[in-house]
Amino acid sequence: MFAAGWVCVGVGIVGIILPGLPGTVFLILAAWLFSRSSPRFESWLLSHPRLGPSVVAWRQNGAVPRWAQFVATGSMAASFGGMALIGVALPVLGLVGVIFVAVSAYLLTRPTA
């Protein structure tokens, strides 16, 4: 779990830099993994000035920053549009569409940080 936590921290940092990659999700997962393998690194992550605030907000009240809600929803819409343009099979497109709508609805109904 400890090594997986560091992998998630790395992916989370990349996600903060690259648009379309959900960095916060990986940081939340890293904190969870560290809580089971290294309380020291869990504390480090939660108190980190750049990485910690979104994880703490999630833990306290399930909050997601408004900008993250819109970026995630917009990325899913763009991905769906791209899949439709390249001709992905209709059943696959339908399944992905249902998943994207469900995830977007969940995200947009979370409190904002």
Ramachandran bin of 62, using left for φ above 0, alpha for ψ from -120 to 50, beta for the remaining angles? left
pLDDT in tens, 64-86: 888 888 888 988 999 999 999 99
Identity at 68, one-letter amino acid code = A
How much is the pLDDT for 105? 94
What are the backbone dihedrals phi and psi of residue 45, each rounded to the nearest 5 degrees, phi first? -65, -45
Rounded-to-integer distance, Cα 6 and Cα 11, Å = 9
pLDDT in tens, 35-63: 999 999 999 999 999 999 989 999 999 99
pTM of the predicted structure, to 2 decimals: 0.76
Closest by CA position to 44, among listed 58, 31, 25: 31
Closest by CA position to 29, among listed 5, 59, 61: 5
What are the backbone dihedrals phi and psi of residue 38, each rounded to the nearest 5 degrees, phi first? -155, 90
DSSP for residue 1:
-
- Is the predicted pLDDT of residue 109 greater than 80, yes or no? yes
